């Protein structure tokens, strides 16, 4: 990693209640790595949070957008970002990485008229490798989340930065994230939902994940209401103390410098 590399959590909201009330911003995550500017999962407000960042991040400097899945809190701003990053199509540039469900079929989320504005649209498949500049972009095994969903693993010069996005926990999930130096976990719930039917991670899942993977640094984000009530920074501290792993709870606008 080189100087200037960072992850900026433009928003940290997960799930409907927190997103719809904007208790936390629902913007996506900016990753600046190896000279590439990548936005992962541009939820509602991503364009606004880029523009209002200090210093502002010009949408025209984005090189790639990655969608892990098509849920609205992950994809709402994809169209306006494509329009922005290409100057309304006047400057053909940039790439979009997205699972097939985001691109074709009744739940596709990318307007057809914008697609030709991009240099390339890459359809993500499970456990596959792609490139963006000198970053290897890999997908995890399919997540259990009700729609086609992949975690995203970025490998830059041998350092793995992984984004374990929305999923229900299952033991086979772990293999995709082995050897992550930095692991970002979408931790929506404090406890499992009573119905057993909510396909999101809870704190007990995060504990199992961190015990198994032991990244150099873990960041929790994408909080639903039960996590907001539990105070994410308290949960992070408890996990750090218990496991001896450096765990941080993201806050809106938090920048993690990578060096
Ligand atoms: Zn989702």
| CA nearest neighbour of 163 among 203, 221, 104 | 221
The DSSP code for 143 is P
Report CA(219)–ligand 1 centroid distance (Å): 18
Report CA(259)–ligand 1 centroid distance (Å): 30
Report CA(199)–ligand 1 centroid distance (Å): 8
Report CA(138)–ligand 1 centroid distance (Å): 19
Report CA(2)–ligand 1 centroid distance (Å): 32
Long-range contacts of 132-139 (CB under 8 A, 24+ apart): 132/36, 132/38, 132/63, 132/64, 132/95, 132/97, 133/34, 133/35, 133/36, 133/63, 134/34, 135/33, 135/34, 135/36, 135/38, 137/66, 137/97
Q: Across residues 89-117, what is the average pLDDT?
A: 97
Report CA(11)–ligand 1 centroid distance (Å): 15
CA distance 141 to 243: 26
Q: Across residues 161-179, what is the average pLDDT?
A: 97
- Confidence at 194, pLDDT banded by 50, 70, 90: confident
Amino acid 259: pLDDT: 77
CA distance 34 to 201: 30
Q: Across residues 240-250, what is the average pLDDT?
A: 98
- Confidence at 55, pLDDT banded by 50, 70, 90: very high
The percent of residues in the chain predicted with pLDDT above 70, rounded, is 99
Cis before residue 55, ω within 30 degrees of 0? Answer: yes
CA distance 177 to 125: 16
Report CA(8)–ligand 1 centroid distance (Å): 20
More confident residue, 225 or 3: 225
Report CA(74)–ligand 1 centroid distance (Å): 7
Amino acid 189: pLDDT: 95
Tell me the whole-structure pTM to 2 decimals.
Answer: 0.97
Average pLDDT, the chain: 96
Q: What is the pLDDT of residues 63-79, one digit of tens each?
A: 999 999 999 999 999 99
The DSSP code for 176 is G
Q: Across residues 32-37, what is the average pLDDT?
A: 96
């Amino acid at each position: 990693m080189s100087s200037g590399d960072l992850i900026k959590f433009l928003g940290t909201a997960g799930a409907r209640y927190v997103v719809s009330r904007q208790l936390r911003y629902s913007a996506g995550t900016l990753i600046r790595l190896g000279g590439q500017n990548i936005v992962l999962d541009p939820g509602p407000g991503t364009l606004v949070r880029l523009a209002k960042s200090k210093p502002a991040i010009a949408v025209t400097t984005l090189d790639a957008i990655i969608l892990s899945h098509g849920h609205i809190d992950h994809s709402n701003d994809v169209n306006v970002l494509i329009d922005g990053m290409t100057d309304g199509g006047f400057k053909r540039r940039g790439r979009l990485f997205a699972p097939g469900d985001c691109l074709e079929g009744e739940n596709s989320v990318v307007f057809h008229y914008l697609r030709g504005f991009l240099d390339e649209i890459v359809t993500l498949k499970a456990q596959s490798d792609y490139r963006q500049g000198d970053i290897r972009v890999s997908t995890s095994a399919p997540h259990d989340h009700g729609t086609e969903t992949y975690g995203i693993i970025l490998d830059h010069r041998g350092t793995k930065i992984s984004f374990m996005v929305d999923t229900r926990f299952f033991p086979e999930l772990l293999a995709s994230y082995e050897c992550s130096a930095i692991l970002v976990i979408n931790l929506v719930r404090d406890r499992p939902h009573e119905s057993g039917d909510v396909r999101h991670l809870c704190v007990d899942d995060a504990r199992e994940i961190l015990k198994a993977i032991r990244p150099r640094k873990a960041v929790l984000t994408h909080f639903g209401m039960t996590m907001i009530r539990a105070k994410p920074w308290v949960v992070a501290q408890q996990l750090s103390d218990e496991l001896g792993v450096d765990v941080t709870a993201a806050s809106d606008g938090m920048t993690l410098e990578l060096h």
